Chains A and B, each alone.
Chain A
Amino acid sequence: MNALTSRDVLRPGKKGLARWIEGRVFAAMPYAFAFFRRWKPVVKFGGMTLTSRYDDVKQVFATDPVFGAPYKPKLDVIMGGEPFFLGMADTPLYHRDTDAMRMVVLPKDLPELGRRAEAMAEAIVAAAPGRIEVVDTLVRRVTFSVLADYFGVPEPKGGDLRVWGTRLFEFQFADPKGDPALRADVDQIAPALRAHIDAEIAARKATPGRDDVLTRCLALQKKGVPGFSDVEIRTNLMGFIVGGPPQPPMVVPQAMEQLLRRPDALAGAQAAARAGEDDLLWGYVQEAMRFDPLAPGLPRNVLVDGVIARGTSHETPVQAGDTVLAAFASAMMDPRRVTDPARFDPHRPASNYIHFGYDLHQCFGRHINRATLHFMLKPLLKRANVRRAPGGAGRLVKNGPFAESLTVVFD
């Protein structure tokens, strides 16, 4: 099947022994991180430098003149060479583009996004006869429907936005070795998505639609506000589709899996969901995510010679050209800055979490995530006797870094 018409959101993963080993490697990471935090907080493996302590991870994220985001080359492939702020350094263009997007992605939208996510999740759960698959049936459907609708990017004819967005996300963020088959898919999907959004922009110009991000972009374009040419609008919308909706289907089921492992936490989250204590429910979800976050870490390219943890006993020089992995999963488990990190505590201060990165390239959609992720689980958590489905289906299955399936049952 051609990538454009494929309905398989995830590509076939490893099988047999290779899959088993992959699973064990991911499962062993927290222990490895604990070892490194204690004994070798900054460790070099070939050209890659791993930082595992909270302070050092934040320093790497915050020092973008030395530790640059490595996303530009692949973004150029996806965006057809057009610059997107995720791939930029701390330049005036970066600030112009992010400021421009903050003019159309507004804080006042967040409550409505949360309501839509909850309403759709409720409809999906209500239609399920006491058994639901969390990854695809619930979270991915809600995420792509609500967010694509909000951005103003409809489903492509003959294609599936979930497949296109996830495939491009995998290429951009989860393909360190450069899989040729994936690149072949991307070479089909990226131009098609660009054309799809271009067509939507043209259609909206002819027939203005309802209030969404695209409509607001076109309104500002009319006023001559910089940063809203057709190509710039398309690039930013593509960036949102590629960088945004593919992530909740990874982290939200992982959070559900962590809650299922902790009966007390699950009971607490359910009580918060039933009582309508949404902030507390968010506390449960983001705390659950801390035990299995989006990724072990994020890479950064060393742009000029520098030093990690200067002045400390583990200060380590790095050279231009090195790659640094800022292990934010490890940072959130660092007892030096996180009180009793092994304890599940839904009341932790926000500074304990680095789910959405830190400083310059902190996730643009973090506020949308804060407003929606817990609402995707809320209707399910309100059900009575939520538990794992019998057998393997009741355990979270991963395909590389992606959550693939998790089925739960309820009364």
Chain B
Amino acid sequence: MLKIENLHARVEGKEILKGLSLTVNAGEVHAIMGPNGAGKSTLGHVLSGREGYEVTAGSVSYHGNDLLALEPEARAAAGVFLAFQYPVEIPGVNNTYFLRAALNAQRKRRGEKELDSMQFLKLVREKIKVMQISDELLHRAVNTGFSGGEKKRNEIFQMAVLEPQLAILDETDSGLDIDALKQVAQGVNLLRSPQRAFLMITHYQRLLDYVVPDFVHVLADGRIVESGDKSLALKLEEHGYSGIGASQPTGAAA
């Protein structure tokens, strides 16, 4: 589904990604772990098309197409979803209205029929039940005045409604207490399917106790320095990131 090859990217003239390669197949859950400043969030932003991130070398193919050539909204319609580390507030814009506009914009771009308000309401009702989102959240303005946990839950709820094929979760676990973390993890688990892939960017391994990944990668200094299964995350927990980078001869020092 997603093939990243030798990706180099710059932000404000500074090279952050330095030859990152990664392949993700449908149905897989990949965890990207790494120390602060390694380039984890940059990866998420480059994949979803944020302005200001300049790709200097390498390629990203998504379902065989050049993902980097697409505008952010076209990537969204193609099934790429980024759950933000810091979800953005849009005062005065109703959460449900926003989500319906987003879903219909995506459907329209894909040549599908837009949902009318009744159809959309039905869909939202189903999803809030599954995601255990309070009704009240739907009537408020997008992320405005939401608590940290509510914002993250709202991201997962949006994901549930938009049903992406490739979901990138950027530190969705950060700032959550254990109960909120469990709720968010449960939401993610419910959305796991053979057609959908996840890229979970996280600093800590505790999220991985609840959403068990198929693969764990360590991102350090702009590239993937080690890959493994769930046990790698536990190893990291024990020894920290410093040990990993040093054990790799071709690693972070380059």
Tell me if chain B binds chain A. no
B-side interface residues toward A, CB under 8 Å?
none
